[in-house]
Amino acid sequence: VGRSLDYGAGWGAERAASAVIADLVDVTRLHTADPEHRVPHFAFRMDQLSDVQALPMGEVQSCYYLRVPVVDQPGVLADITRILADRKISIEAMLQREPAEGEETVNIIFLTHMTREKDMNAAIRKIEALEVTTGSVTRIRIESLHGR
């Protein structure tokens, strides 16, 4: 399959039920409405589409989940948050648990507020260059369907 993007509110009883109801409404409209009053396929008219300029990827804004594997020692969190702050990346939430017994590394988890992709890329490069970072930063973009 290769790369894929799954986007939407997700599955579940309410969402699945509303999709079934929407399909039933569409079938009923097609059957009962005269051609001039039908809802177009995809709910828009193809002849009214226009080209939209896509943003360069670096300008796209998103919230992010970051998992940073680091050596568990004082000052690490300060170093990482300074890198994020220098790029105006605001932290929404952060989680760091105690390392497992006998382990010297730990994952620090961050959720960020909206920020530009190029700022996040620059921050991740700096974080991965820290001596205390023990592996690659895991990044997941978080999209909100309700505005954030």
Model confidence pLDDT, tens digit, residues 66-112: 999 999 999 999 999 999 999 999 999 999 999 989 999 999 999 99
57-142 carries CATH number 3.40.30.10: no
Going from N- to C-terminal start, the domains of the chain cover 13-48, 57-142
Instruction: Check residue 116 and give its pLDDT.
Output: 97
DSSP state of 120: H
CA dihedral sign, ordered 64, 128, 118, 2: negative
Instruction: Check residue 114 and give its pLDDT.
Output: 96
What's the pTM? 0.67
Model confidence pLDDT, tens digit, residues 99-146: 989 999 999 999 999 999 999 999 999 999 999 999 999 999 998 776
pLDDT grade for 19, boundaries at 50, 70 and 90 = confident
* CA–CA distance, 125 with 144 (Å, rounded to integer): 25
Q: What stretches of 60-146 adopt beta strand conformation (E)?
A: 61-71, 91-96, 105-112, 115-116, 138-142
Q: 51 or 59: whose pLDDT is higher? A: 59
Long-range contacts of range 29-37, CB-CB < 8 Å, 24 or more positions apart?
Answer: none
pLDDT grade for 30, boundaries at 50, 70 and 90 = confident
